[in-house]
Structure 1
Amino acid sequence: MSEASGASVTPKSGNGRRPRSPAGTVRLAEVAAIAGVSEATVSRVLNRKYGVSAQTREQVERALQQVGYERPVKGEIVLVLVPGMRTPVFAAMVNAIESELTPYGLRAYVCPIVPGSAQERDYIEPMLDAGLAATIFLSASNTVRNADPVARQLLEARGIPYVSVNGGFPDGEMPVVSTDDWRAAELAVSHLYDLGHRRIGMCAGPVGNTPADRRVEGFIDAMDARGLGDAEDLVVRHHYSVDGGRHAADELLPLGVTAIVASSDDMALGAIRAAVRRGLEVPRDLSVVGYDDSYLLDFTDPPLTTVRQPVESLAESCVRTLVTMVQNRSVPPTEALIDPELRLRRSTGPAPR
């Protein structure tokens, strides 16, 4: 859309609101005058450009309605497919994505799903003709090996863009934004190694889950780099849950580990529970590092050292990429890796003598 003073938009026909100009168009100047803004601002709203406040955007939208202009159906809705909102990091990430989408006039519809299930298709299919602009796979089927491809095939068939967060589809050609899980494992192992720990175990997520697999790879690489060659024997895979962490730790503790790296904060809390049940004290007898980070971790007993996912940076990069695609501009089908951060609390300490 041009920002020149003579530029125009085409209104819907037969609305009975305002007569069209002889050329069948309404000029940007007319919309700008009604909204009390510049023509450049009208153009930015029409083209989903950043930098327009929510109040100004609403003024322009009302003016467009007054002159009888309707957006194409493909317009406002961004589906966010996410495995529930009970996990604090997912709730935080969805909130960050919503905040990033709003200045572009896009609305997030949060869809809680079981990753890789038919629920994804059930959410996407009815939205294809209801204003669906794009979709975000947030730790959804994009993280599950051999997931049902129907959901993304529906999007691709209609030319609707999507972005994957924390892992991409193996045969996909769309952009991906992820936390650097290899780096996350390195940060945890390095911290524990510097504290004197040499027998370090890992409570890992399930096999076939992309972030879990990457964290295991990073853990083994970090251990090997420090000459701790039995790392593979000290990895136990289980579900991302407190019970999963407890069961995994119950297998690791008899192996003489003095520290545990967990694939999630829930698993780390489960590992602490397993240690306490054995009469061990954290961190005197066992150090534990989680993954994700939540403000609630300051109030656990003890407060949990964890590797923080860069929620705000992930959301910003994801939305920036998505909006570029919604604006019909090309983006490379590559994966952007964003560095995590180690958050030190009191669940880690020197290795026991």
Structure 2
Amino acid sequence: MKIGITEVAARAEVSEATVSRVVNRRAGVSAKTREVVERAMAELGYERTTRGRLVAVITPGLSSPFFADVAELIEAALAPHGLKGVLCPAQGGGIQEREFVTALAEHGVAAVVFLSASNTLDDADPETYDLLAARRIPFVGVNGGFEGHDMPVLSTDDQLSAELAVDHLWSLGHRRIGLASGPAGNRPADRRAEGFRAAMARRGVTDTGSLVVRQHYTIEGGQSATAELLRHDVTAVVAASDFMALGAIRAVRRAGLTVPGDVSIVGHDGSMIMEFVDPPLTTVRQPLDRLAKEVARSVVALVSNREVPKGELLFGPELVVRGSTAPPR
């Protein structure tokens, strides 16, 4: 026997209109009533249809090839399940992100994916997550979790990323290795900085204070950080993103040096376009395909009221060696 909203309404002792609002996650239902209806749905085995539903993908922007690539992969992974990804570029933790989520919640969005958005910030305002939780709208994090909410988080292993980059440069003969990292308070950047210090310490370098510079995830940020690192005589730079690595290359050249002749550069993310820069960029590639598929699997399960593993799942990155790294002079 197929369970519909009529059976759910009878079990919960509410109107079918109320059940419809809960099913479509619309406003106008008290938290207590919503809980009663959700419980009735679970007891009867009612499954929300996923066809035609919207899934919001909140991302800090699409100018970076990495975010564009992973957002496209998430959309493609959701499509076979009848879910439509809607891209919402917004500054992480800003008003625009909250307004996107609020508006979509009012229109019955099925789920929200935070793609390196406010979920990467230590001081993120929990109001957005609290709103989704109150509406029983599931959400998933990529490269960052949610304080106070036990939702699935899929992340690249940032500490392993740092180890792969340092190990590659160390094996080439570099000993003065610097890190051009993202801003403090950004969880992936903090993890990479921690991983970098640990990787250097394992190789006997414990004084890394001047070898770690925090800047924005931009070309300009990478250029500024690398210019400072060059003043400390580094022969290699690990950048926290491919865009920062492009800035690092610019800083090296403006100092009258060459890449990789004088300074080797390693990026992070693994955007395909970095194969075609000059020189082609050695980088630590995030496992975009696997991340996107796991995001889609988690979203589909949550939308269908199925249990999913909670907590953070770490994915191993891959070192891609190209022309921006070489032994030191």
Matches of 1:127 and 1:351 in 2, distance apart?
Answer: 53
Match of 1:201 in 2: 178
Identity of aligned residues (%): 52
| Residue of 203, 222, 227 corresponding to 1:226 | 203
Match of 1:320 in 2: 297
Match of 2:224 in 1: 247
Matches of 1:332 and 1:300 in 2, distance apart?
Answer: 40
Given the alignment of the two structures, is residue 90 of structure 1 paired with residue 67 of structure 2, yes or no? yes
Deviations 1:245-292 (A, max 9, x none): 111111110111000000011111111111111111111110000001
2:298 aligned counterpart, secondary structure:
helix
Match of 2:9 in 1: none
CA contact (8 A) 1:220 1:232 kept: no
Deviations 1:14-70 (A, max 9, x none): xxxxxxxxxxxxxxxxxxxxxxxxxxxxxxx9754xxxxxxxxxxxx8xxxxxxxxx
Match of 1:299 in 2: 276
1:121: how far off?
A: 1.7
Deviations 1:189-235 (A, max 9, x none): 00000000011000000000011001001100100011112223200
Given the alignment of the two structures, is residue 238 of structure 1 paired with residue 202 of structure 2, yes or no? no
Match of 1:132 in 2: 109
Matches of 1:268 and 1:318 in 2, distance apart?
Answer: 27
| TM-score (structure 1 length as normaliser) | 0.79
CA contact (8 A) 1:223 1:229 kept: yes
Matches of 2:218 and 2:81 in 1, distance apart?
Answer: 36
Given the alignment of the two structures, is residue 329 of structure 1 paired with residue 306 of structure 2, yes or no? yes
Match of 1:281 in 2: 258
Match of 2:84 in 1: 107
1:8: how far off?
A: 7.3
Match of 1:309 in 2: 286
Aligned residue-pair number: 289
| Residue of 245, 249, 256 corresponding to 2:233 | 256
Q: Which has the larger radius of gyration?
A: 1
Matches of 2:243 and 2:48 in 1, distance apart?
Answer: 44
Given the alignment of the two structures, is residue 160 of structure 1 paired with residue 160 of structure 2, yes or no? no
1:318: how far off?
A: 1.0
| Residue of 91, 94, 98 corresponding to 1:117 | 94
Match of 1:217, as an amino acid? E
Matches of 2:306 and 2:231 in 1, distance apart?
Answer: 56
Matches of 2:234 and 2:64 in 1, distance apart?
Answer: 28
Given the alignment of the two structures, is residue 145 of structure 1 paired with residue 86 of structure 2, yes or no? no
1:91: how far off?
A: 0.3
Matches of 1:295 and 1:145 in 2, distance apart?
Answer: 30
CA contact (8 A) 2:48 2:304 kept: no
Deviations 1:107-133 (A, max 9, x none): 111101000011122112122232311
Match of 1:131, as an amino acid? G
2:110 aligned counterpart, secondary structure:
strand
Given the alignment of the two structures, is residue 177 of structure 1 paired with residue 137 of structure 2, yes or no? no
Could you say what the CA RMSD is over the residues aligned between the two structures, in angstroms?
Answer: 1.7
Match of 1:26 in 2: none
2:224 aligned counterpart, secondary structure:
helix
Match of 1:172, as an amino acid? H
CA contact (8 A) 1:118 1:148 kept: no
Match of 1:350 in 2: 327
1:9: how far off?
A: 5.7
List gaps (5 residues or longer) in structure 2. Answer: 7-46
Change in 2 beyond 3 A, CA 1:332/1:8? closer
1:10: how far off?
A: 7.0
1:121 aligned counterpart, secondary structure:
helix
Instruction: Tell me which stretches of 4 or more aligned residues in structure 1 moved more than 3 Å.
Output: 7-11, 45-48
Matches of 2:83 and 2:313 in 1, distance apart?
Answer: 23
Matches of 2:137 and 2:5 in 1, distance apart?
Answer: 23
Change in 2 beyond 3 A, CA 1:315/1:171? same
Given the alignment of the two structures, is residue 271 of structure 1 paired with residue 248 of structure 2, yes or no? yes
Matches of 2:176 and 2:110 in 1, distance apart?
Answer: 50
